[in-house]
Amino acid sequence: MKVAYIEGFAGASGDMFLGAWLDAGAPEHRWREILGGLQLGGYVLIIRRVTKRGITALKVDVESGGEQPHRRLADILQILDKSTLPQAVRERAIQAFRLLAEAEGKVHGTSPEDVHFHEVGAVDAIVDIVGAMAGWYLLGMPECFVSPLEVGGGWTVSAHGPIPVPAPATVELLKGFPVYSSGLWGETVTPTGAAILRTLSRPAGGLRYVADAVGYGAGSRELPVPNVLRIQVGERVSESGKAVQPGGSGIEAGLEMEGSGAAAVEAGGGDRYFVVETNVDDMSPEWAGYLVPRLLEVGALDAWIVPIIMKKGRPGMEIRALCTADRLEAVKEEIFAQSSSIGVREYGVRREALDRRTETVETPYGPVRVKIAYRHERVVNVAPEYEDCRVRAEEHGVPLKWVYQEVVRQVGSKGL
């Protein structure tokens, strides 16, 4: 199972994430291509290598000119909705901005929709968040874990005036994450960095892994320690040293123990998996089309709707979502908020996930990433990355299926 271990011994910010993912191996040309899909002008990317107290790192600056508008959440969601970003990048960016809006709304006593994004609504902050999600995406969308975080201390200046460090919105976003402060270092974890962390990662706990790539992303300031964010990317292993299957289980077979309610916990104290479901016969199908992506945005691993026949012969729908224990309340809240349901069922489930890795294969149409899934060391599925195939098909004016077929042929011929 591919994992990324994020070390925030000097804090975390958007630009530090950009540098760390690129330094860990995310291809810069593809990363720039994805950011181009944001269709947002008015900025220049400057990437250079710097040294922070003896450690070399990539420094990524997003320079924008002119007066920046104070955008609301709806303005940013409109930018993301109109983009041609890969679905996973767009969904994670939307989730990060929603989390930011909820945190700022709670701090200022207003609804998330009414929050004015000041610094966070600027072009550079939008590029920071989308670029961070793009780097994660290009490295195979690893499951992310984070170390205890240095949050700094003292005071900083915001659009509202002086505020304590860490900023109130940062404190909200980092609830549940181990943090510490080494003194008056100023702001080391920014709200943008905290939103990225909250969206992508969880505390590391007893994580065991074997790293095959390391990236260092530099911050702007000089601190008593190297001002870098380190991300190690590799494979998760069990105590015996064997590779762990996907699913966050921490057990060799990748299986979660069966059970119901709070008892549905896997061996070794890892994630719990639940299905939340409800039946409705008085809801517009248009609402259903809106609900499924919303459930994914709040953290459901999967969400789907099944047509059913209910009492008195009424056509209805069964809404279902699969999630981990930490997203259970958020999923239920979204179902109640976005549907006509007045009650849900929840139960623990068993899940088996195939081991998989992402490879890049060269085709006559250009490089394409492909997910290769295994069971008992035998290849059982090959899934070319849709966005890569779409881009290559459009570039060469060929049917999409030709690119798919060529990728599968290449995988077979190379014995990947």
pLDDT, mean of residues 231-237: 92
Determine the Cα–Cα distance for residues 335 and 338; give it in Å rounded to an integer.
5
104-151 pLDDT, tens per residue?
999 989 888 888 786 666 888 899 999 999 999 999 889 999 999 999
DSSP string covering 269-281, please?
Answer: S--BEEEEEEEES
Q: Taking a C-beta distance cutoff of 8 angstroms, is the pair 5, 236 a contact?
A: no
321-380 pLDDT, tens per residue?
999 887 888 899 999 999 999 999 998 888 777 777 888 888 999 989 898 888 777 888
Determine the Cα–Cα distance for residues 130 and 32; give it in Å rounded to an integer.
11
The pLDDT of residue 136 = 95
Element (H, E) at 180: strand 179-180
379-389 pLDDT, tens per residue?
888 899 998 89
Q: Taking a C-beta distance cutoff of 8 angstroms, is the pair 3, 145 a contact?
A: yes
Neighbouring-strand partners of residue 305: 319
For residue 359 the two structure tokens come to 């490879």
How large is the angle between the packed helices 14-23 and 28-36, nearest 10 degrees? 140
- The answer to whether residue 1 scores a pLDDT higher than 70 is yes
Q: Position of tokens 């505020």?
A: 163
Rg (CA), the chain: 22
